[in-house]
Chains A and B, each alone.
Chain A
Amino acid sequence: MTLFLFFGDMFVMAFMIGLVVWFINRDDDAVIDEVARIPLEDEQHHG
């Protein structure tokens, strides 16, 4: 059981690390910065 939990945890960690690596390589900083600004520029008021 200890080994099961250990390998389970390692699998989770591997998934997380893979996710981070994938995401960091996916888009450049300028694109990410633009996406982060979406809530700041999403309204046009009238009157």
Chain B
Amino acid sequence: MTMTENTIYQDRVTLRLIQFAVVWAVVAMTAGVYLAAELIWPTIDFGQFWLSFGRLRPLHTNGIVFGFGVSALMATAFYSVQRTSHVTLFSPRLAWFCCYAWQLTVLLGGLSLLAGWNTTKEYAELEWPFDIAIAVVWICFAVVFFGTIATRKIRPIYISNWFYGALIIVIAMLHIVNNLALPVSLNKSYSLYAGAQDAVVQWWYGHNAVGFLLTGGFLGMVYYFLPKHAGRPIWSYRLSVVAFWAFVYSYIWAGPHHLHYNSIPEWVQSLGMVMSIVLLAPSWATLINGVMTVSTAWEKLRTDPALKFIVLSLAFYGLATFEGPMMAIRSVNVVSHFTDWTIGHVHSGALGWNAMITYGTFYFMVPRLVGRELYSTRLANIHFWMALAGTMLYIIAMWAAGVSQGLLWLSVDQLGELSFDFKDIMSSMTPYYLLRLVAGLVFLGGTVLMAYNLFMTMKGREPVAVTPPPVAPAFGVAS
């Protein structure tokens, strides 16, 4: 094949998105560590509103989900959709627009949160100007992704693209519906929904943002990068397709488990609970598929830090997707809700699953993209153990704190009065919060090591030229 600009995979935008994702990881995790410290020493906001917990916390979550997570998902989606379609990106200029417009939106949105602009909807805190900007960039992302699929040279659409496609379609739907609002000024709007309906719509959005962005999108990463890195096809392709349809069909119903014992109909709560338990099946189908794929490549785990991260992320994925359905059971939720157990659960997914699969994927992609060995395998191995130690410490501390809180809050004396004062319970949490702070510092330290390692690997390099191989006649698309 003659190598022209039109036949070379467009990897420059992928590399830039990886750089942005790494920067967001460091920034947003630093905010998280500071927040952990504020929960122990509340006065370290120094009386500054922008440093207060209420303003810094949404910066932490938005920075991780939209800055780090979405940048990583865009990078890996652009990388894999070209390769699995045997064609270059549809409209590279639009892909560059997505890259920079997204960073600008998240950056200005983050600053607006520090300034106190906030819709008060969790994970949807950004005010209406940013909601519109997000919708515009997301639609452009959809055009690039589905345009590449539409112009593909290979007939089958590989399974990772189904997951990325579901991510793009469902997040667009959730974002637009949940953020419908009436603006009254540049920095204030009122939701079109009220009361219990607002809560149901918000958690339909909130849970499925977790489902389709932090789970579905990252499963797309697993299905492409795990077989590629292990050098073996996915263990059961049929199982992956069944898992995909079961996943999209079940997940969308599970949101009401966030509203147990709230003022919404009991049958809605029950439906959310049942569908959350059903979700265990597709989640673990992927887990089994992933572990079986790597089961014939165990020897690579000794020497390959990228594969270590990917395999460990699967273990945490299995843990988090077991814990989630258990916490959705109402009798368990009565203990866990509003406690630090939930924070532990979220971080077993965010640190153990999302961050580790992304780290493994970046360690795999960057050396291949720039055609150079990783700057330091030793640093990557140190990072692996820091990430594992940080995650384990974090979730153990939060489990212990959360279960204690839940049981102490429910404890009543013979007269039916609360046995423990809320303030005393929270004061007794300090040792757990100190452990969480240490865990956060260790995890952040590992991420800084990765940032240094990856930037040294990329330093002074441009992406190497890679083109699609010839397509087998049986799979070719008639042109």
- Are A and B interaction partners? yes
- A contact residues vs B (CB 8 Å cutoff): 1, 4-5, 8-9, 12, 15-16, 19-20, 23-24, 31-47
Taking a contact as CB atoms under 8 Å apart, the answer to whether B475 and A41 are in contact is no
Known: A19-B242, A23-B241, A42-B86. A9 touches B465 (CB 8 A): no
Taking a contact as CB atoms under 8 Å apart, the answer to whether B468 and A34 are in contact is no
User: In the complex, A4 Cα to B237 Cα: how many Å?
Assistant: 34
What chain A residues lie within 8 Å of B242 (beta carbons)?
16, 19-20, 23
Q: For the complex of A and B, list the 7 residue pairs with the smallest distance between their C-beta atoms, beginning with the closest.
A: A36-B233, A42-B83, A36-B237, A39-B228, A44-B469, A35-B156, A38-B158
Residue of B nearest to A37 (CB): B233
For chain B, residues 237 to 282, give those with C-beta under 8 angstroms from any C-beta of chain A. 237-238, 241-242, 245-246, 249-250, 266-267, 270-271, 274-275, 278
What chain B residues lie within 8 Å of A38 (beta carbons)?
84, 154, 156, 158
Residue of B nearest to A19 (CB): B245
Taking a contact as CB atoms under 8 Å apart, the answer to whether B468 and A39 are in contact is no
What chain A residues lie within 8 Å of B160 (beta carbons)?
39
* Residue count of chain B within 8 Å CB distance of chain A: 43
User: In the complex, A44 Cα to B471 Cα: how many Å?
Assistant: 12
Residue of A nearest to B236 (CB): A36
Taking a contact as CB atoms under 8 Å apart, the answer to whether B238 and A42 are in contact is no
Taking a contact as CB atoms under 8 Å apart, the answer to whether B278 and A9 are in contact is yes
What chain A residues lie within 8 Å of B275 (beta carbons)?
12
Residue of B nearest to A41 (CB): B469
Taking a contact as CB atoms under 8 Å apart, the answer to whether A34 and B231 are in contact is no
User: In the complex, A32 Cα to B242 Cα: how many Å?
Assistant: 13
Taking a contact as CB atoms under 8 Å apart, the answer to whether B267 and A4 are in contact is yes
Known: A5-B271, A12-B278. A39 touches B238 (CB 8 A): no
User: In the complex, A34 Cα to B233 Cα: how many Å?
Assistant: 9
Known: A4-B267, A32-B238, A35-B237. A43 touches B469 (CB 8 A): yes
Taking a contact as CB atoms under 8 Å apart, the answer to whether A42 and B469 are in contact is yes
Q: List 8 A-B contacts (CB under 8 A).
A: A34-B475, A36-B233, A40-B227, A43-B9, A43-B83, A43-B469, A45-B465, A47-B464
What chain B residues lie within 8 Å of A32 (beta carbons)?
237-238
